[in-house]
Amino acid sequence: MVKDTTTYILTHFSDDDDDIELLKKKEEGWFTNRRKGILFTVIGALFSSTASVSIKLAEQVVPVLQVLWFKFLVMFVLVGSQMIYYKQTIEADGRLFYLFIRSCFENIAMSLVLFAVMYLPVGEATVVMFFSMSLFMVLMAAVFLKESLTCKIYIALILGLVGVFLLANPEEIIVDRTFSVARMYGLGAGVGHGLFRALSSIMVRKLGDEVQSSVVIFYHSVYGLSIFTVLILLGMLYSFLIGDYMFSEAFFIRIEDDFLLALCLSIGVLMFICQSFATRGTQICDSSIVATVRNVSIVFSFVYQVVVFGEMPNFYAAIGTAFIGTAIALIVTDK
């Protein structure tokens, strides 16, 4: 038995804990993987939405690069401890290239999350991000897996684009003749997140079951921690060279508030749990199913938006969400 946290849960949901080979059988194994893949994806979506709340709260005080640095530091410590405890190796069986590319896509996607939730309410940002990811996943399946696009997919594409336009608050643009650049930044970041998250999922599917989920997360955290450490050091070096020490606070600050420190650390913990379940779910379940199920984050995020931030969606946001929800339903029924 592979001593991996998510694999442990996977096997204990099985009818026979000792027969992992059963999961590889075409008939019964497909249903088993699908059921558990959906379960893991929902759990991952819950923790992802919770992490978005922590990010929105933390980035009001802490620089964006430092928030990401904390995230990867905590993930590295947690996954490293897990691998040491279970005596796992970091061997990737010649898959280092795919792990690196996957990490790059995931890091870009995570960076765009920060800008999406910065300029948009959490619920609306999640709608845009996860619809975009679902749509790009379907399109990439057509390109890379040679799947044909049906009439429902084309209709879903149109409805989704209309929904995103409504989320941009067209009354301000058409009636008031004002243009919220910040809101456009948020929408653009949300769509970009969906694109790179879809590319990341394609890489995970390429890796398959040949690489354990903990190894995927380990290399992701190592690459991410290295990249953002270098970026922070370069920013602080530049501020030193120009003699503007206040400029360095745009990259890294000293956190003296215990709650704020705990909030930054919680992002890493939440994303580690999210990555553990989401990665395993993507490995064992069909990509189109996973991409669709991840949209449950929209429900979680709107709950957080109202309960935590007290931000009620306006009329256009509600209608836009309905359009996108219809588009998602069309994708579900098409599959």
**CA–CA distance, 288 with 296 (Å, rounded to integer):** 14
Q: Phi and psi at residue 132, in whole multiples of 5°? A: -60, -45
> One-letter amino acid identity for 32?
T
pLDDT at res. 95: 78
Joined tokens for residue 101? 């590319």
Task: Name the band, by pLDDT with cuts 50, 70 and 90, for residue 175.
Answer: low
pLDDT at res. 16: 44
pLDDT at res. 179: 55
pLDDT at res. 233: 92
> One-letter amino acid identity for 107?
N
Q: Region 200-217: what's the mean pLDDT?
A: 78
Residues whose CB is less than 8 angstroms from the CB of residue 155 and which lie 6 or more positions away in sequence, other chains included: 327, 330
Residues whose CB is less than 8 angstroms from the CB of residue 171 and which lie 6 or more positions away in sequence, other chains included: 316
For the chain, what is the mean pLDDT?
77
pLDDT at res. 221: 92
pLDDT at res. 104: 87
Instruction: Please report, for residues 22, 40, 197, the alpha-carbon distance to residue 27 in angstroms, rounded to integers and kept in the order given.
Output: 10, 21, 30
Q: What is the pLDDT of residues 62-86, one digit of tens each?
A: 988 898 899 999 999 999 999 999 8
> Has this prediction a pTM greater than 0.85?
no
Q: Are 164 and 320 in contact (CB under 8 A)?
A: yes
pLDDT at res. 239: 85
pLDDT at res. 230: 93
Angle between helices 151-167 and 315-334 (to 10 degrees): 160
pLDDT at res. 2: 41
Q: Region 321-328: what's the mean pLDDT?
A: 74
Q: Region 294-322: what's the mean pLDDT?
A: 76
Q: Are 203 and 101 in contact (CB under 8 A)?
A: yes
| pLDDT surpassing 80 at residue 330 | no
pLDDT at res. 270: 94
pLDDT at res. 327: 72
DSSP three-state, residue 253: coil
Which of 321, 331, 330, 323 is CA-nearest to residue 126? 321
Residues whose CB is less than 8 angstroms from the CB of residue 307 and which lie 6 or more positions away in sequence, other chains included: none
Q: How many residues does the chain have?
A: 335
Task: Name the band, by pLDDT with cuts 50, 70 and 90, for residue 315.
Answer: confident
Q: Which residue in this structure is represented by tokens 């040491």?
A: 84
Instruction: Please report, for residues 77, 81, 264, 329, the alpha-carbon distance to residue 74 in angstroms, rounded to integers and kept in the order given.
Output: 5, 11, 9, 36
Q: What is the pLDDT of residues 140-174, one digit of tens each?
A: 877 776 666 678 767 877 777 777 677 666 665 55
**CA–CA distance, 22 with 312 (Å, rounded to integer):** 48
Delimit the domains of the chain by residue range: 5-334
Which of 66, 68, 85, 105 is CA-nearest to residue 214? 85
Quick one: CA dihedral 240, 246, 247, 249, positive or negative? positive
**CA–CA distance, 178 with 111 (Å, rounded to integer):** 28
Task: Name the band, by pLDDT with cuts 50, 70 and 90, for residue 25.
Answer: very low
**CA–CA distance, 34 with 152 (Å, rounded to integer):** 23
Q: Are 282 and 205 in contact (CB under 8 A)?
A: yes
Residues whose CB is less than 8 angstroms from the CB of residue 94 and which lie 6 or more positions away in sequence, other chains included: none
The secondary structure of 95-151 as a DSSP string is: -HHHHHHHHHHHHHHHHHHHHHHHHS-HHHHHHHHHHHHHHHHHHHHHHHS-PPP-H
Task: Name the band, by pLDDT with cuts 50, 70 and 90, for residue 267.
Answer: very high
Q: What is the pLDDT of residues 81-135, one digit of tens each?
A: 999 998 888 877 777 888 888 888 988 888 888 788 888 877 778 778 877 887 7
Structure letter (DSSP) for residue 62: S
